[in-house]
Amino acid sequence: MLENLSSGTYNAGAMSQLPVPDPPEFETIERLAVVGVGLIGGSIALAARARGVARSVVGVGRKLARLEEAHCRGIIDEASTDLTAAARRADVLVFCTPVDRIAEGVRAAAAVCRAGTLITDAGSVKGCICRVLEKGLPPGVEFAGSHPVAGSEKQGFEFADARLFENRVCVVTPVESTSREAVARVCAFWQKLGASVVEMSPEAHDAALAQTSHLPHLVAAALAATLSPENRPFAASGFRDTTRIASGDSELWSAIFLGNREQMLASLSRYEASLARFRQAIEQKDSTALKELLKAAKMNRESVANG
């Protein structure tokens, strides 16, 4: 499902075999604005500073006290609660806010950006962002969507890591109106942060992530919700490992589920069909069918674990 690769990016069928390519010519960013300084935004800021990707990083958010703490920790160089003021001075902006706020924030920032400013994001859903922003931005200001497939159930810049994107995939999701220059600049940005880059349509991205990220989170949450209080003492490592990602932020994940509604429902239907096969095998006491289902699942899991 990884398609339409740009120069210097991976071939999807051989991602684990190919060496990381050298990024294209990259000009150091004078002022990078990171909008939303949490785990991902904080990691972008740290990586950009550590790798010399940006000379100055401005952290933009709603809570000044939190931003000042991030500044004190050396994650950002400046703190601002004024998006438009930061956008006027920025050369590149990366939006790391919840997915239901990104398009609105990009439009507000783009309205005051200088010509030549590049805007991207780190949202886990792309169709509801990239298609909304396909038209209507000021001349000379471009948006090219992206999504680094990295992170954890942890929240906040306290867990930010300058190496978070190393050897991880970042998906860049241009639309028909996105210039190849903007795509190349976004690809180079993520490669300089340590990621390998693939290029997909927003729709292909959303279909893939619904199956590999969004559905697993929903399943973990549903499983965690079934645990009765009296059985909590017996929930050992198997239960904890399986439900770990259910600790994610509820506001963030509800926005992701609804933003990727169509693909989530399609993935849920496939999952429900798989559950039905397991249920039928158990109801019918069909050990042969049950073993085959478990073997197929084991093979799929090991293929992922082994890269």
Residue 213: its pLDDT value, please? Answer: 96
Where are the chain's structural domains?
12-200, 205-305
CATH number of 12-200: 3.40.50.720
pLDDT at 307: 65
- Kind of pairing between the strands at 142-143 and 78-80: unpaired
Mean pLDDT along residues 182-187: 96
Answer whether 167's CB lies under 8 Å from 191's CB: no
Task: Return the pLDDT at 24.
Answer: 53
Q: How confident is the model over 195-220, as pLDDT tens digits?
A: 999 999 999 999 999 999 999 999 99
Amino acid at 67: L
Contact 88, 67 (CB under 8 A): no
Q: For 88-143, how does the pLDDT look when each residue is reduced to its tens digit (9 = 90+)? A: 999 999 999 999 999 999 999 999 999 999 999 999 999 999 999 999 999 999 99
Exposed/middle/buried for residue 189 (C-beta within 10 Å: 0-12, 13-18, 19+): buried
As a CATH number, domain 205-305 is 1.10.3660.10
Q: Which tens digit of pLDDT belongs to each residue from 12-61?
A: 333 332 333 445 567 899 999 999 999 999 999 999 999 999 999 999 99
Q: Which residue has the tokens 């991030």?
A: 70
Q: What is the pLDDT of residue 12?
A: 36
Q: At residue 171, does pLDDT exceed 70?
A: yes
pLDDT for the residue numbered 25: 62
Q: Could you tell me if residue 136 is left (phi over 0), alpha (psi between -120 and 50 degrees) or otherwise beta?
A: left
Helix, strand, coil percent values for the chain (each to nearest 5): 50, 15, 35
Give the residues across from 94 on adjacent strands: 34, 120
Are 57 and 77 spatial neighbours (Cβ–Cβ below 8 Å)?
yes
Mean pLDDT of 72-80: 97
What is the pLDDT of the chain when averaged over all its residues? 91
Residue 231 has pLDDT above 60, yes or no: yes
Same fold, 12-200 and 205-305: no
Closest CA to 213 of 175, 157, 169, 172: 169
- Give DSSP secondary structure letters for 197-224: EEE--HHHHHHHHIIIIIHHHHHHHHHH
Model-wide pTM > 0.75? yes
Quick check: 293 and 273 in contact, CB under 8 A?
A: no
Q: Is the pLDDT of residue 272 over 80?
A: yes
pLDDT confidence of residue 21: 42
Q: What is the pLDDT of residues 235-265, one digit of tens each?
A: 999 999 999 999 999 999 999 999 999 999 9
